[in-house]
């Protein structure tokens, strides 16, 4: 089964800029997939469309078979999204931010608290649970976003440039954590402009440039051609 199927996807922003020019790719269940490309290539736009934050202009998107146009609620339930910007309320506590996510997905309160403890512990944030998010370092905020995205236990985790601005040590521990999640069965898609990051983590890769997928192959095959 495919975790993601995208075909003929186009995005024209207001003002007429064509950010996606008809892209096609799919990601198999269980894969660790990198969407690699330079700044401005269309990575965030692609992720925005998949997670229904950005309206597409044309094309189709399916997540575990659920169609974005006709099965939006089911599609959203499959996805955990870690956007680039810190879009949580900085004055809420770490634990509140994670637990509050339960409301959007109908996760029962008690289960939400159990999972918050599990994921915050795994991500090294449990001791910070009662601190306001604004007191966290950038790397901790990034990990908080991951814990929040996992609360409803999505089958597909999508991360937009997860290690941008993160120092090398923390980057490695995030890589280890994502690898562990993937081994436990979660399909992961991340965007990056570092080939090294894709190389360290990913099995398959799509290279995007100026709104087009210019290469879609396994990491092994790509490295053999370099």
Beta carbon of residue 12, minimum distance to ligand ADP (angstroms, whole number): 8
Judged by CB, which is closer to ligand ADP: 84, or 217?
84
Provide the edge-to-edge strand list for the sheet that holds 156-160: 79-82, 156-160, 187-192, 32-36, 204-209, 212-218
How do strand 2-12 and strand 79-82 relate by DSSP bridges?
A: unpaired
Judged by CB, which is closer to ligand ADP: 54, or 200?
54
Distance between CA atoms of residues 137 and 165, nearest Å: 11
Q: 38 is written with which tokens?
A: 């330079």
How many residues belong to the site for ligand ADP (CB under 6 A)?
15
Location of structure tokens 């089958």: 155
Stretch touching ligand ADP by CB under 6 A, among 13-21, 60-68, 118-126, 147-155: 13-21
Which positions from 16 through 75 interact with ligand ADP, judged by CB under 6 A?
A: 17, 19, 37, 39-45, 54-55
Distance between CA atoms of residues 83 and 186, nearest Å: 18
Helix residue spans in the chain (DSSP H): 43-50, 72-78, 94-100, 102-105, 109-122, 138-150, 168-183, 195-201, 219-225
Binding ligand ADP (rule: CB under 6 A), the pick from 1, 7, 8, 13 is: 13
Q: Taking CB under 6 A as the rule, does residue 116 contact ligand ADP? A: no
Judged by CB, which is closer to ligand ADP: 59, or 124?
59
Judged by CB, which is closer to ligand ADP: 37, or 206?
37
The binding site for ligand ADP (CB under 6 A) comprises: 13-15, 17, 19, 37, 39-45, 54-55
């Amino acid at each position: 089964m495919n975790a993601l199927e995208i075909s003929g996807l186009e995005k024209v922003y207001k003002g007429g800029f064509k950010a996606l020019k008809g892209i096609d790719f799919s990601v198999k269940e269980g894969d660790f997939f990198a969407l690699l490309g330079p700044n401005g290539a269309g990575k965030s736009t692609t992720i925005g469309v998949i997670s229904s934050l950005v309206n597409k202009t044309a094309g189709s998107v399916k997540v575990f078979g659920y169609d974005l146009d006709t099965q939006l609620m089911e599609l959203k339930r499959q996805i955990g999204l870690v956007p680039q910007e810190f879009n949580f309320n900085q004055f809420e506590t770490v634990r509140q931010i994670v637990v509050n996510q339960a409301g959007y997905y109908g996760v029962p309160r008690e289960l939400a608290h159990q999972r918050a403890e599990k994921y915050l512990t795994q991500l090294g944030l449990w001791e910070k649970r009662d601190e306001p998010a604004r007191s966290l370092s950038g790397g901790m905020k990034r990990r908080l976003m991951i814990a929040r995205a996992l609360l409803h236990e999505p089958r597909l985790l999508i991360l937009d440039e997860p290690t941008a601005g993160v120092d090398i040590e923390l980057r490695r521990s995030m890589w280890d954590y994502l690898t562990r999640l993937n081994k436990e069965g979660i399909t992961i898609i991340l965007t990056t402009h570092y080939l090294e990051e894709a190389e360290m983590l990913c099995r398959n890769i799509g290279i995007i440039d100026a709104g087009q997928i210019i290469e879609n192959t396994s990491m092994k095959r790509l490295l053999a051609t370099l």
